[in-house]
Amino acid sequence: MATGKDLINAVRESLERDGELGKIKAELEMKIIELLDSSTPSSHKKKPDSPKDVVIINEIIMEYLNWIGYKHTSTVFKSECDCGNRRLERSFITQDLGIKDTDESEKLPLLISLIDTFKARKLSLKN
């Protein structure tokens, strides 16, 4: 007959196999952070709007986290950076940063395009 420990281990293994355990941990961490933040007096002050560059950086990071499949990390990051549902259009970011998007590069996150752009500039400076 299975013991309580066996049952707990079976549930844990099932949750790990399905990827749900990571999601539960991320949600728990997010709730703990929210609770801790709301308990401090400074958290009740309205945060100032982030500068445009910070918003762009956060958007690039979120896009990468989602692309690579780090959904739980993305959820916590989104909550911590207070991005809400406001999302910047990729075309706005590429135009602002001077990145040329192609059919091939549009399939990849902007972070990879940034790295490719810097590599290309480095090569052109050498020549």
**Among candidate residues 97, 38, 33, the one with its CA nearest the CA of residue 63:** 97
pLDDT tens digits, residue range 81-124? 877 667 788 899 999 988 888 888 889 999 998 888 888 888 88
Domain at 47-127, CATH class: mainly alpha
Q: In this predicted structure, what is the pLDDT of residue 42?
A: 56
Q: What are the CA-CA distances from residue 67 to residues 55, 60, 81, 98 (Å)?
A: 18, 11, 18, 22
Q: What are the CA-CA distances from residue 120 to residues 63, 67, 108, 125 (Å)?
A: 22, 23, 17, 9
Q: In this predicted structure, what is the pLDDT of residue 8?
A: 84
CB 101 within 8 A of CB 94: yes
Cα-only R_g, the chain: 20
- Is pLDDT at 127 greater than 80 in this prediction? no
pLDDT tens digits, residue range 21-53? 887 887 888 788 777 767 666 555 556 667 888
